[in-house]
């Protein structure tokens, strides 16, 4: 927002003597003054450089003051510039027409110098307050956008919109989703060998890549817990192909880790588990929100990961039945799963050709 102590004023008048008189008077008052001999030139200048005030004559050849006012107020880039009309036309109809067209004020010729100074000061003060309000609203808009981005980093967009409209407990049941847990094998052993900063940078690099894969596959990242990553398909907006999307995400994660390991860093293995079934999803917390999932499907997906094998994707029988026609699996067989007993599980290998 520019200071108006050295305000830029445009004087528009077809009479050279009037232009010179106003220019000298305004310069003595500390303003920067530009002159235009007609309406066409005035509009050119206003589109080329910013002005804080326009002093506009009415009776001019080619384009009169009324026409200038119409074009100024119709232009979104110019309409906020205050226009003070100074004209020899002193009848009430002319004054009313100028005000209706958007003029800030009207001063008849010959003008009183003291009154002119006061009117200019009032116009510029209104301009200053308008600019201040505009800057505040812009700052408020920027801050709102920041808050919106932060909220969307925490919550799914659909949930964020619901929470803004009605900030109460949100809990939804979903009859059919697919949940994926992934864990970087042996990552905790690095804690004693590298600095915390390096550890966090490594995790951020890996998980940022996973975030991109989740977005690519249309899935919802739920959270990270240490070196574990959780993502779900089929909520908050249900989709019929959630199991397929989750399976593709798992395969993409394996490929990404293989690429990550091609560098000169210590290679990592990833263990992935997937389960399909019903869950409850909702928002908990008041000051620090978190969107989380609960239910046997979530616990089973976690067990598929923790009881899995490094560099493999272990899935439940329910997930296998959904995907066996489109993906390649190896039957791992019956394993003992903590809290679940014996379960038949499968290892997802790849997508079938042309599927």
pLDDT at res. 284? 73
Per-residue model confidence as pLDDT tens digits over 208-230:
999 999 999 999 998 888 889 99
Residue 257: both structure tokens together: 């880790």
pLDDT at res. 56? 93
Residue 164: both structure tokens together: 């803004």
Q: Hey, which bits of 195-250 come out as E strands?
A: 220-225, 228-233
Q: Which residue has the tokens 């001999």?
A: 37
Strand 290-294 relative to strand 269-284: parallel, antiparallel, unpaired? antiparallel
Least confident of 59-73, 85-99, 235-249, 275-289: 275-289
Q: Is 82:53 a contact under the CB 8 Å cutoff? A: yes
Per-residue model confidence as pLDDT tens digits over 66-119:
999 999 999 988 988 899 999 888 788 888 998 889 888 898 888 888 888 888
Mean pLDDT of the chain: 87
Residue (of 301, 328, 310, 320) closest to 232 by Cα position = 301
Give, in order, the Cα–Cα distances in Å from 299 to each of 178, 180, 238, 338: 12, 11, 20, 10
Give 144's pLDDT tier (boundaries 50, 70, 90). Answer: confident
Q: Walk me through the domains of the chain, giving residue ranges and CATH numbers.
A: 8-148 (3.40.50.2300), 155-351 (3.30.70.1230)
User: Which DSSP letter does residue 190 get?
Assistant: G
Mean pLDDT value across residues 318-333? 93
Q: Hey, which bits of 209-264 come out as E strands?
A: 220-225, 228-233
């Amino acid at each position: 927002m520019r200071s108006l102590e050295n305000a830029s004023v445009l004087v528009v008048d077809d009479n050279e003597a009037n232009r010179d008189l106003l220019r000298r008077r305004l310069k003595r008052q500390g303003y920067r003054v530009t002159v235009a001999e007609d309406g066409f030139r005035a509009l050119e200048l206003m589109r080329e450089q910013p002005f804080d005030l326009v002093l506009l004559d009415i009776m001019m050849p080619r384009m009169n003051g009324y026409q200038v006012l119409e074009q100024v107020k119709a232009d979104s880039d110019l309409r906020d510039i205050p226009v003070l009309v100074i004209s020899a036309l002193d009848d009430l109809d002319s004054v009313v027409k100028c005000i209706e067209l958007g003029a800030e004020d009207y001063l008849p010729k010959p003008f009183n110098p003291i009154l002119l100074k006061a009117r200019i000061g009032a116009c510029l003060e209104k301009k200053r307050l308008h600019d201040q309000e505009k800057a505040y609203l812009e700052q408020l808009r920027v801050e709102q956008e920041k808050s919106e981005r932060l909220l969307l980093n925490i919550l799914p967009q659909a949930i964020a919109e619901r929470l803004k409209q009605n900030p109460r407990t949100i809990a939804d049941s979903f009859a059919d989703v697919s949940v994926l847990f992934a864990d970087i094998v042996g990552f905790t052993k690095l804690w004693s060998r590298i600095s915390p900063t390096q550890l966090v940078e490594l995790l951020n690099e890996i998980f940022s890549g996973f975030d991109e894969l989740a977005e690519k596959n249309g899935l919802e990242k739920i959270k990270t817990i240490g070196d574990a990553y959780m993502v779900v398909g089929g909520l908050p907006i249900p989709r019929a192909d959630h199991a397929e999307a989750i399976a593709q995400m798992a395969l993409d994660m394996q490929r990404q880790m293989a690429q990550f390991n091609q560098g000169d860093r210590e290679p990592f293995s990833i263990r992935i588990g997937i389960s399909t079934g019903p869950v409850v999803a909702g928002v908990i917390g008041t000051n620090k929100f978190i969107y989380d999932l609960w239910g046997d499907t979530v616990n089973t997906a976690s067990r598929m990961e923790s009881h899995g094998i490094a560099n493999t994707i272990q899935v439940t029988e329910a997930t296998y039945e959904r995907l066996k026609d489109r993906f390649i699996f190896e039957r791992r067989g019956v394993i003992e799963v903590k809290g679940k007993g014996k379960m038949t599980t499968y290892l997802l290998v790849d997508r079938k050709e042309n599927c």
